[in-house]
Amino acid sequence: MKSLKLFGLASVVALSALTGCKPKGTETAVSGDAAQKVYVAPGKYDEFYNFVSGGFNGQVNVYGLPSGRLLKVLPVFSQNPENGYGYSEETKPMLQTSHGFIPWDDQHHLSLSQTNAEVDGRWLFANANNTPRVARLDLKTFKTVEILELPNSAGNHSSPFLTENTEFVVAGTRFAVPMDDVSGDVPIDTFKENFKGVLSFIGIDQQTGDMDLTFQIEAPGINFDLSHAGKGKSKDWFFFSCYNSEKANTLLEVNASQNDKDFIMAVNWRKAAELVKAGKGRKVATNYAHNKWDESIHSATSTMKKEVTVLSVEDMKDAMYMIPCPKSPHGCDVDPTGEYIIGSGKLAALIPVFSFDKIQKAIADKAFAGEYDGVQVIKYEAALYGEVQKPGLGPLHTEFDGKGNAYTSMFVSSEVVKWNIKDLKVLDRTPTFYSVGHLMIPGGDSGKPFGKYLVAYNKITKDRYLPTGPELAQSAQLYDISGDKMQLLLDFPTFGEPHYAQALPGEMISKNQVKFFKIADNKHPYATKGEAESKVVREGNKVHVYMTSIRSHFAPDNIEGIRVGDEVYFHVTNLEQDWDVPHGFAILGNENAELLIMPGETCTLKWVPKKAGMFPMYCTDFCSALHQEMQGYVRVSPAGSNTPLIYSLNNKKDNAQSPVKSGETK
Ligand code: K7E
Ligand code: CUA
C-alpha cells in the first residue's frame, strides 16, 4: 500500500511540474497510463532485452523491457549453483586466474558488440572490478564463453568499452599499482615513484570474437574511472575519465578532491596499435589467465600467459593527451555523432562538453597548458565546447536518445536531467527514487540509439518496496522518453548492485538462439551418446561414470563398488534433442552444486564420498510427469573393501535386455 501511494505521489509531482496545476484526482489517470505502457500481456514478448550488471552478485541479469520481468541470471564471474557454473569440472577453468580459482567478482559495466557504431547483437562484454578481468558472452547461447585476466592492473573499473567496429575492448585500471615486473613489496608512500595506471587494449577477432591482450599503455599513476570510445569522426580515439590527479594514497575522499580539475585522457588507439605493430613497446613479464569455452567439447580451458607488450608515455607522446575536467569526473560519454565528449564531475556544479574538432585543433595548434607526468595537457578552453549550467548535483553518467538530447544522472539531487547537446539548455528533469547511479537508453551509447525508454539504476530504495531486513531491494526505474517530458512508468527490483546496462530490440537476438546442441557434434571426451554406451570405469581411485539422462531416467541408475576415498566423476550426457529440456543431477552429500545439463551437452560433477553407505541421486529439473521417478542409488563401501564394481539400469533378473554389468578396471 505504502509503495502504491508513493508511486501515485511521484506521478503527481512529475505531472504538477509539467503542468503547474494543482494535483487533484490525477493519480489514477497517470498510473493507469503508465501501467498500460509497461503491460506485456501473458504470452507476449517484451520489446527489449535489458542486460544489467550484477554488481557484487558478479553475474549479468537479463530483464525484459518495458515489463521489467527478470528473464535470466547469466553466470559470469561468480559460481552459480542454479546451473553448476564454476562448480562443474567443465566450467571451473573459466574462473581460473593468476591468483588461483576465484569464485566471485564485482561486475559493473557491460558493452554490446557494435558494427559501424550500431549494436549488432553478437556478443556482450562484461568487466570484473576486483580481480581484473573482461568476459565475453555469446548471445546465441547466453553463455560466458571467454574470460581474460588483465595484468598490471587492480580494480578494473574503466572497462569494458569498445570501438565502433569492436576492434578493441579497453580496460583502464582504477588503482594505480606497481608494474608486475617489479616488486610490489614497497612502502605505500612511494606511490608517486612506483605506482602506474595501466590501460589495456584487448583486440577482438572479428569472426570468432576471441580476445587477445594486444598491448597496454603504462600511463601516469592516476585512477582511471570510466571510458568510452569515439565514433564516426572520433572513432580512432578512446576517452577516459581520471580522478585522483593529486595521486593521494590515503583518505582519498579529502586528498583526491583538492584539485579543481582532474582529467579526461584522450588516447589514439589506432596510432598506439600501429606503434606496437612497428615494434615499439617493451615486453613486460607477468602472469595472467586466458580462459576459453569450447562448445564442441562443452568445456573450458585455462591458459596462463606470460608476457605483455607495454607502451610508455614517451612512446605515446603524439597519441595521448590530457584534457582538464572539473572535478573528480566519473562518467565519460560520447554522443552519437562522435563530436561531443561529456565528463561528469561528481563534485562539479556544471557539466563540461568537449568538442572533438576543438581537441584536434588544440593538438595541431599546440594549445597546451603544460604536462602531467610527461603527457601534454590541452588547455581547458581550447577543448571545451561549452558547459551545461546548473544541471543538478552530482552528475555521474550520460546517455543519448539519438534526437540531439543527452540525459545525465544526478546522484546527489536524485534526478535525471535531459538537456540539448547543441545549445546545452536543460529541457526537463525528473526525480529518481533514489540516488541514481547509471542510466541507460537502449543503444544509448552507440551511434544509433533506439530511444523510447530510459532506465535509471538506483543506489537507494528506502521506502519503495516491502522492507526485507537491513538490506533493502536493489532497484531500477523505467521512464518513457518518447515525448518532450520524461514519464516514470515502473519500478522493478534488480540483483544488487546494478551499475551499467545495455539493451537492444528482442528480435535482434531472439531469432538466433541455439535451441539445443546436436548430440552427434558432441566431442566431449567423456560423452555417452546412447544408453548402450553407458558404463563405469575405475582407474585406481578415480571412477568415471559415463551416464546418460533422458526422460525420465539415468543410465546407469544403480551403481555399487564405489569406495570411500574414491574420486567419482559423473559425466552426464543429456540425450534429449529438443528445446528447453535440461536434466539436472545431484547426489546426497555432494559439496559443489547440481549440474544442469542442456540437451546434447555433457557435464561432469566430481564427488568424493566421505563415508560408507547408500547415496541417492536424482534429477533436479522437473523434466516430465515422471521427473520424480528420475532417481537412482550409489552404494559406497569402506576404503579397501572388495565390493565388485557393478552398474545397471532396470536390473530385474527376468530382463535379459539390461543385465547388471561389471565396471571396467584400467
Ligand atoms: Cu556504479 Cu559505472 Cu562502477 Cu557509476 S559505476 S554508478
Ligand atoms: Cu530429468 Cu527431471
Between CA 293 and CA 398 the distance in angstroms is: 34
The ligand that comes nearest to the alpha carbon of residue 620 is 2
Q: What is the mean pLDDT of the chain?
A: 93
pLDDT given for residue 659 in this prediction: 66
- Integer-rounded Cα Rg, in Å, for the chain is 28
Q: Give the Å distance between the CA of 108 and the centre of ligand 1.
A: 6
pLDDT given for residue 17 in this prediction: 38
Mean pLDDT, rounded, for 154-182: 97
- Model confidence at 8: pLDDT above 60: no
Determine the atom of ligand 2 nearest the C-alpha atom of 622: 2
Residue 358 carries which DSSP code?
Answer: H
Residue 94 carries which DSSP code?
Answer: G
The ligand that comes nearest to the alpha carbon of residue 594 is 2
Please tell me the residue having the least CA distance from ligand 2 atom 1. Answer: 583
Please tell me the residue having the least CA distance from ligand 1 atom 6. Answer: 437
Please tell me the residue having the least CA distance from ligand 1 atom 5. Answer: 499
Query: Which of 624, 648, 653 minimizes the C-alpha distance to 634?
Result: 648
pTM of the model: 0.94
Between CA 117 and CA 229 the distance in angstroms is: 10
Mark out the alpha helices in 487-532 (DSSP H runs).
507-510
Q: Give the Å distance between the CA of 92 and the centre of ligand 1.
A: 28
Q: Give the Å distance between the CA of 601 and the centre of ligand 1.
A: 37
Joined grid coordinates for residue 530: 546412447
Q: Which residues line ligand 2 (CB under 6 A)?
A: 549, 552, 583, 619, 621-623, 627, 630
Detail the DSSP E strand segments found in 312-357: 320-326, 329-334, 340-345, 350-355
Between CA 397 and CA 345 the distance in angstroms is: 9
Determine the atom of ligand 1 nearest the C-alpha atom of 331: 4
- Model confidence at 377: pLDDT above 90: yes
Q: Give the Å distance between the CA of 423 and the centre of ligand 1.
A: 27
pLDDT given for residue 663 in this prediction: 87
Residue 22 carries which DSSP code?
Answer: P
Over the stretch 320-371, which tens digit does the pLDDT of each residue have?
999 999 999 999 999 999 999 999 999 999 999 999 999 999 999 999 999 9
Q: Is the peptide bond before 552 cis (omega within 30 degrees of 0)?
A: yes
The ligand that comes nearest to the alpha carbon of residue 395 is 1
DSSP assignment string, 547-603: EEEETTEEES-EEEEEETT-EEEEEEEE---STT--EEEEETT-SS--EEEPTT-EE
- Specify the 3-state DSSP secondary structure of 389: strand
Q: Give the Å distance between the CA of 499 and the centre of ligand 1.
A: 5
Mutate to test the pocket of ligand 1, among 156, 243, 330, 435 (most ligand atoms within 8 A of CB): 330
pLDDT given for residue 654 in this prediction: 39
Mean pLDDT, rounded, for 190-200: 95
Between CA 52 and CA 438 the distance in angstroms is: 10
Between CA 171 and CA 227 the distance in angstroms is: 8
Question: Residues with Cβ < 8 Å from 553, sequence gap 6 or more?
Answer: 629, 630, 632, 649
Between CA 271 and CA 382 the distance in angstroms is: 23
State the pLDDT confidence band at 660, using cuts at 50, 70 and 90: confident
Q: Give the Å distance between the CA of 437 and the centre of ligand 1.
A: 6
The ligand that comes nearest to the alpha carbon of residue 585 is 2
Q: Which residues line ligand 1 (CB under 6 A)?
A: 108-109, 157, 226, 330, 396-397, 437-438, 499-500
Mean pLDDT, rounded, for 305-334: 97
Query: Which of 329, 331, 322, 324 minimizes the C-alpha distance to 444?
Result: 331
Between CA 77 and CA 54 the distance in angstroms is: 10
pLDDT given for residue 1 in this prediction: 32
pLDDT given for residue 496 in this prediction: 85
Instruction: Please give the single-letter amino acid code of residue 433.
Output: F
DSSP H or E run through 123: strand 118-128
- Specify the 3-state DSSP secondary structure of 522: coil
Q: Give the Å distance between the CA of 330 and the centre of ligand 1.
A: 8
Joined grid coordinates for residue 471: 538490506
pLDDT given for residue 262 in this prediction: 95
- Model confidence at 11: pLDDT above 60: no
Detail the DSSP E strand segments found in 163-259: 168-172, 197-204, 211-219, 223-229, 237-243
CB 451 within 8 A of CB 486: no
- Model confidence at 157: pLDDT above 90: yes
Mean pLDDT, rounded, for 25-29: 38
Query: Which of 166, 113, 173 minimizes the C-alpha distance to 149?
Result: 173
CA angle 355, 435, 23 (to 5 degrees): 105
Q: Give the Å distance between the CA of 555 and the centre of ligand 2.
A: 13
CB 636 within 8 A of CB 609: yes
Q: Give the Å distance between the CA of 455 and the centre of ligand 1.
A: 14
Determine the atom of ligand 2 nearest the C-alpha atom of 620: 2
